[in-house]
């Protein structure tokens, strides 16, 4: 607080001497120089950051997947195919399989060791198990995705054809999206040092192929297609079967539809 009462000299009463005048000119020139240099530097730095992303994808499509839980045998081929196709670092999963065992005593055992990449081995006596099933999981490519909402720089975005992607050249690696995804679909990629997750094999589906996991599934438990096309396999599957999505109460607009969902599924 300015409580000091001591009066100080008035500076504006001083007259300018020649020397001071020259000094003033020199200082001003220096200031202008620093200002101009600083501005040029600033402009150069900012220009690298202000590019805007062009819309990606074709708005006439809306790609999605449906999963028939009753058909999945837990072989884990899809997890392996995904990890090879997409170079997924070990210990992280773009897709994974969960095994549910409802025991005779009513308890539920859930596991997904190594994401199910090596299949599952028996760990309890078969006669103690009442019912067992496998649930393949992946990013739900939510239409109102919380991950996209929270990304501070827009590096996570939705394509025009309904796929949620991460721009690895744009992601600053804050991991907010990993926190925001209610499904655990995202992971930290230690090689790219960015967030990462399932892309529905965007590089393949743009060429008319199906995602790698769909291609290798021996039982056809994964159905891929274009929701905008009523004749595509996924549209037909969802018409003909009762399906549910994961955590519908969170209103994320999760797209991946499951047939044969049971209340044990988390």
Give the binding site for another protein (CB under 8 A): 1-4, 6-12, 45-46, 49-50, 52, 91-93, 96, 98, 110-112, 114-115, 146, 148-154, 170-176, 178-188, 192-194, 250, 252, 266
Binding mask 80-119 for ligand SF4 (x = CB under 6 A): ----------------------------------------
Q: Which is nearer to ligand SF4, 140 or 235 (CB)?
A: 140
Pick from 137, 141, 222, 259: which binds ligand SF4 (CB under 6 A)? Answer: 141
Tell me which residue of 74, 196, 72, 174 sits closest to 123, measured CA to CA. Answer: 74
- Residue position matching structure tokens 């999605």: 64
Q: Does 79 bind ligand SF4 (CB under 6 A)?
A: no
Say whether 102 sits in a helix, a strand or coil: strand
Q: Which does 228 bind (CB under 5 to 8 A by kind): another protein, ligand SF4, none?
A: none
- Cα–Cα distances (Å) from 11 to 8, 79, 201, in that order, read 9, 78, 72
Alpha-carbon distance 24 to 98, whole Å? 75
Which range binds ligand SF4 by CB under 6 A, 44-52, 105-113, 174-182, 226-234? 174-182
146 binds ligand SF4 (CB under 6 A): yes
Centre a 10 Å sphere on the Cβ of residue 232 and count the other Cβ atoms it contains: 19
* E-assigned strand segments in the chain: 63-68, 95-103, 108-111, 129-138, 156-158, 164-166, 187-189, 194-196, 222-226, 243-244, 257-259
User: CA quadruple 90, 93, 97, 99: dihedral positive or negative?
Assistant: positive
Q: Which of residues 189-228 bind ligand SF4 (CB under 6 A)?
A: 194-195, 197
Q: Which does residue 145 bind out of another protein, ligand SF4, none, counting CB within 5 to 8 angstroms by kind? A: ligand SF4
Q: Which is nearer to ligand SF4, 85 or 196 (CB)?
A: 196
Q: Which stretch binds ligand SF4 (CB under 6 A): 5-13, 28-36, 124-132, 142-150?
A: 142-150
Distance CA 61, CA 218 (A): 27
């Amino acid at each position: 607080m300015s409580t000091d009462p001591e009066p100080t000299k008035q500076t504006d009463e001083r007259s300018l001497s020649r020397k001071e005048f020259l000094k003033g000119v020199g200082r001003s020139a220096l200031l202008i120089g620093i200002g101009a240099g600083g501005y040029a530097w600033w402009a150069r730095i900012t220009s690298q950051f202000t590019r805007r992303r062009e819309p990606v994808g074709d708005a006439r499509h809306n790609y999605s997947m449906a999963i028939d839980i009753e058909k999945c045998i837990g072989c884990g081929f899809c997890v392996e195919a995904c990890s090879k196709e997409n170079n997924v670092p070990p210990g992280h999963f773009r897709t994974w399989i969960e095994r549910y065992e409802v025991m005779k005593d009513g308890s539920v055992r859930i596991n997904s060791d190594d994401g199910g990449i090596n299949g599952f081995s028996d760990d309890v006596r078969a006669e103690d198990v009442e019912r067992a099933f496998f649930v393949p999981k992946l990013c739900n490519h939510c239409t109102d995705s919380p991950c996209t909402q929270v990304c501070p720089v827009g590096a996570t975005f939705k394509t025009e054809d309904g796929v949620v992607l991460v721009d690895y050249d744009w992601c600053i690696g804050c991991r907010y999206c990993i926190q925001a995804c209610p499904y655990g679909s995202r992971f930290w990629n230690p090689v790219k040092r960015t967030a990462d997750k399932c892309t529905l094999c965007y590089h393949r589906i743009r060429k008319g192929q199906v995602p790698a996991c769909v291609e290798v599934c021996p039982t056809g438990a994964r159905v891929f297609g274009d929701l905008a096309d009523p004749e595509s396999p996924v549209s037909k599957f969802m018409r003909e079967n009762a399906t549910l999505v994961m955590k519908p109460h969170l209103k994320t607009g999760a797209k991946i539809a499951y047939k044969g969902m049971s209340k044990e599924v988390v």
